[in-house]
Amino acid sequence: MTMHRLKNALVVALVSAGTLVGAAVAVQASTLDSILAVGEAKNDAARKSQAKIDRLADETRDLLNDYKTVNKQIDGLKVYNARLQRQIDNQMKRVGEIDQSISQVTIIQRQMTPLVIRMIDGLEQFVALDVPFEKDERMERVEFLRSNIDRADVSVAEKFRGVLEAYNIELQYGRGIDTYRGTIDMNGSSRDVDFLRIGRIALLYQTTDGAMSGAWDASNNAWVDLPAGEYDASIRKGIRIAKKQATIELLNMPVSAPEAN
């Protein structure tokens, strides 16, 4: 009886001990899960923090690159602005010079117009006293220049340029050889002739049939007949040279003696 009670008591004690052990194990397992959960939460928080740090680092690097780029642009703009300022200073200096010139334009215009008129008068007198080649054309040029004087739509500079051009044309007449067709009065009748101009040293004519030739006598301001056969061939040759139908060569031509000054 006593033995049986001891066995029962031992069983009860073992059962109680197992229960206590199981409870302890359960408590330890619960504690470990809590620890693991806390560790996982810390790891997750650490990953999020690292991701945030990486993002901030990228943003910082981008901002630094933008800062460096902006600084380069600022340096470039400083150089550009400095050069632009020098250009503006030079332009302002030029504007001042132009303003000063403009203030003198009225005076220059008042002086230019009388000068142009005197030059036209001198040109007209020169043509009237010169060897009478293409006289109508040359006088028409003078009259055109004179008609421009009172035109409001033509600037003084353009009027002056036209006069200079006319003077240059007259200058070129003395440097070349030319021929043109015209008429001449012979004994009360008009004859068609070919004129030959050799600079300003000789002005000759020959009838279109080649029968008669003549030359301008500057001392008497009149046409004179040339001896038959003496200059006919030379004048004919000169006309062909002027028309570029023959090569240039020496010609025997009547030339007026130079006048003493």
Task: Tell whether 254 is covered by a domain.
Answer: no
CB 221, CB 260: distance < 8 Å:
no
Output the pLDDT for position 175: 85
Cβ count within 10 A of residue 191: 16
State pLDDT tens for residues 160-212: 999 999 999 999 998 889 999 988 887 778 889 999 999 888 899 999 888 88
Domain end marker among 58, 79, 103: 103
Instruction: Give 205's Cβ-side CA count (13 Å radius).
Output: 26
Domain end marker among 173, 203, 221: 173
Which burial class, exposed, middle or buried, applies to 200 when counting CB atoms under 10 A from its CB (0-12, 13-18, 19+)? middle
Residue-averaged pLDDT of the chain: 82
Output the pLDDT for position 69: 86
Counting the structural domains of the chain, the total is 3
- Regarding whether 81 and 17 lie in a shared domain, the answer is yes
Task: Tell whether 255 is covered by a domain.
Answer: no
Output the pLDDT for position 189: 82
Both structure tokens of 208: 């279109």
The pTM of the full predicted model, rounded to 2 decimals, is 0.56
- Regarding whether 68 and 165 lie in a shared domain, the answer is no
In whole angstroms, give the CA distance from residue 201 to residue 199: 6
Task: Tell whether 261 is covered by a domain.
Answer: no
Output the pLDDT for position 38: 77
Give, in order, the Cα–Cα distances in Å from 135 to each of 4, 93, 155.
171, 51, 28
CB 226, CB 213: distance < 8 Å:
yes
Task: Tell whether 184 is covered by a domain.
Answer: yes
- Regarding whether 99 and 5 lie in a shared domain, the answer is yes
- Regarding whether 97 and 25 lie in a shared domain, the answer is yes
Q: For residue 214, what is the enclosing H or E element?
A: strand 213-217
Q: Low-confidence residues of the chain, pLDDT below 70?
A: 1-29, 256-261
Output the pLDDT for position 111: 84
- Regarding whether 93 and 20 lie in a shared domain, the answer is yes
- Regarding whether 167 and 90 lie in a shared domain, the answer is no
- Regarding whether 207 and 169 lie in a shared domain, the answer is no
Task: Tell whether 252 is covered by a domain.
Answer: no
Domain that holds residue 182: 177-242
